[in-house]
Amino acid sequence: MKKYKVNVNGTVYEVEIEEISGAAAAAPAAPAAPAAAGGEVVAAPMPGNILAVNVKAGDTVKKGQVLVVLEAMKMENEIVCPRDGTVVSVSVTKGASVVTGEALCAIR
């Protein structure tokens, strides 16, 4: 297990990510993918469904910019960028289900 601290909307979360070998590690939504890309991981603060992904790899982003819209308990939650930077990778797609702590994208 690897531990990461993730800042989401000014709240710091500690995220543990398990490394897996084999076919499961190649899954496109694997939480470890953005960390391997060398960026700050933006993680899901709660379980839910992805309603919109507003960025793609290579996009320049500003602090506070909405990266992803996450629906949880029938509420739309805007997941915003923790700092200025560039999107290194995006780990989710519209319609995907995520769990708490799952990587959404990585910012460098």
User: Comparing C-alpha atoms, which of 33, 71, 65, 34 is closest to residue 52?
Assistant: 71
The pLDDT, as a whole number, for residue 49 is 95
pLDDT band, very low/low/confident/very high, at 11 (cuts 50, 70, 90): confident
Q: Taking the model in full, what pTM does it have?
A: 0.64
* Residue 30 pLDDT grade (very low, low, confident, very high; cuts 50, 70, 90): very low
Please state the domain extents for the chain. Answer: 2-107
In the structure, what pLDDT confidence band is assigned to residue 37 with cuts at 50, 70 and 90?
low
CATH of domain 2-107: 2.40.50.100
- Beta carbons within 8 Å of 62's beta carbon, 6+ residues apart: 81, 84
